[in-house]
Structures are given as structure tokens and as C-alpha cells.
Amino acid sequence: MPDATIAAARDIVGDSLAELRTAVEGCTVEQLNRRPAGDDTNGLAVLVTHTLHSTRAWLSLAVGAPLPDRDRPAEFVVVVEDPAAFLATFDEFAADCRALLDADAPFEPARSGTAPWRAGDQAREPVTAAWALLHAIAHLREHVGHAQLTRQVV
């Protein structure tokens, strides 16, 4: 029987990824790359790229999977040239995120690990699997909201 916490997370993450995809479906290159309030803000392409990389990384930490390679600074300078290719990449990342929550292994909320993509001393500070899972979901939901609002103005 699957862990109830992971089952709940799978539902929330799945719904959130679907909402995130809806926010970028049908966008043009200009809409995906536009920074709605100037150069110091993030457009849809950046929001979505960062969200997918972050979600996959935090979920990996939460379930004890190998941590993916991640270049966090590069997530914030992405420029989309082909919306169809961008959606295909989105679908690959979303499938990776869902697969991390499909394992039948028991969830060990007290297991700890580190997140090397974090800045400074935080990169060496251990977090529990429970914290990583909750953070993955909270961060994902926050950026779904950002993407939905950004879509309204681009």
C-alpha cells in the first residue's frame, strides 16, 4: 500500500504541474520570454524552468533518489526559441517529478540530506525528507500562482 503522505503529494504535485502547463500552453515566443515588469523580473519561461528544476530536485531529496544535476543560475536566464520544444521539455520534467512520487518505497520523513544547489552555508545544512517534500510543494504552488498572474499580463 502506498504511503498516504506520498499519495497526497502525488495528487497535489500532479494538479499543480497541470496548472503550470496550462499557464504556458499556447504562448508565443514573445509571451514566454517577456519580463512583464522589466529586466529585474522573470518571464514565464524563467518561472517555469526554475519551478520544474526546483521541484524535481526537492522531490528527489525528499524520496531519497539521486539528486539531479542542476545549474540554478542558468534557470534564470533561459530564453525560449521554440514553444513546442519548450512544452516537450516541460512534459519530460513533469514526468520525472511524477515518477519520483510513484515509487512504492516507504517514505522516511526523518531521513536527512543536503541540497547542494542552495546558497552558502545552506548547501551544507541538512534538511529532513519531510521538510524537502513540503518545501517542494509550497515552492511549486507559489510559482504556479506567479505563472498564472504573469500569463494574465503578457
The answer to whether the pTM exceeds 0.85 is: yes
**What are the start-end ranges of the H helices in the chain?**
4-24, 29-33, 44-63, 72-75, 83-100, 129-153
Q: 111 φ, ψ to 5°?
A: -60, 145
105 located within any domain? no
112 located within any domain? no
- Nine cell digits for residue 109: 520523513
Average pLDDT along the chain, 154 residues, taken 10 residues at a time = 88 98 98 92 97 98 96 96 98 97 88 96 96 98 97 94
Q: Among 39, 8, 42, 7, which Cα is nearest to 23's?
A: 42
In the chain, the number of structural domains is 1
Q: Which domain holds residue 34?
A: 4-97+118-153
46 located within any domain? yes
State residue 54's pLDDT score.
Answer: 98
Task: Give the CATH number of the domain where residue 135 resides.
Answer: 1.20.120.450
